[in-house]
Amino acid sequence: MEILSLLIFIIGIISSFIVGGNNSATAIGILLSTNALKKRQSYLVSAISIFLGTSLGSYTLRDSVYGLVHGNVQNILYALIFSAVFASVVSFYYLNKSGIPSSLSQMIYPSLAVMVVISKGLLFNWEKFWFTVASWGF
């Protein structure tokens, strides 16, 4: 499970950096146009926010997926989680790039739930799933 955790962490870093970079362009434009900070300070604040967002985003992605699916067949489990996370990150990137707001949890959790339901030998943490679904309302 260590390799899978590392892969999910790396995917989280890449996606958080890409999405953070897209969103910070607007923020830095606002900082520069309103003269709230000097140009050099604006770039520094933007760089720090991208770094913190990337670090926290990859950490929370790893922790939210870890322990969600359990099973005896490790190879199928690894392939299931990696494919669901990878497809969700790619979808998340393209949706945000086109201006459609989305959440990674709204893609990862339903994908994993459907795959677990149609497969045999895998167990799903339904409490974590329903807690996350309830949080989407907020």
pLDDT of 93 reads 76
The pLDDT score that the predictor gives to residue 24 is 61
Are the C-beta atoms of residues 8 and 85 closer than 8 Å to each other?
yes
Per-residue pLDDT, 51: 72
In the chain, where are the structural domains located? 2-136
**Does residue 5 sit in helix, strand or coil?**
helix
What integer pLDDT is reported at residue 55 of this predicted model? 67
Question: Which residue stretches of the chain are H helix?
Answer: 2-33, 39-65, 74-97, 105-118, 126-136
pLDDT tens string, the chain, 138 residues long: the values are 577 767 766 766 666 666 555 556 666 666 667 777 777 777 777 777 767 766 666 666 666 666 677 777 777 777 777 788 788 778 877 777 777 767 776 777 787 788 777 777 777 778 877 877 787 776
Whole-prediction pTM value? 0.51
pLDDT of the residue at 135: 74
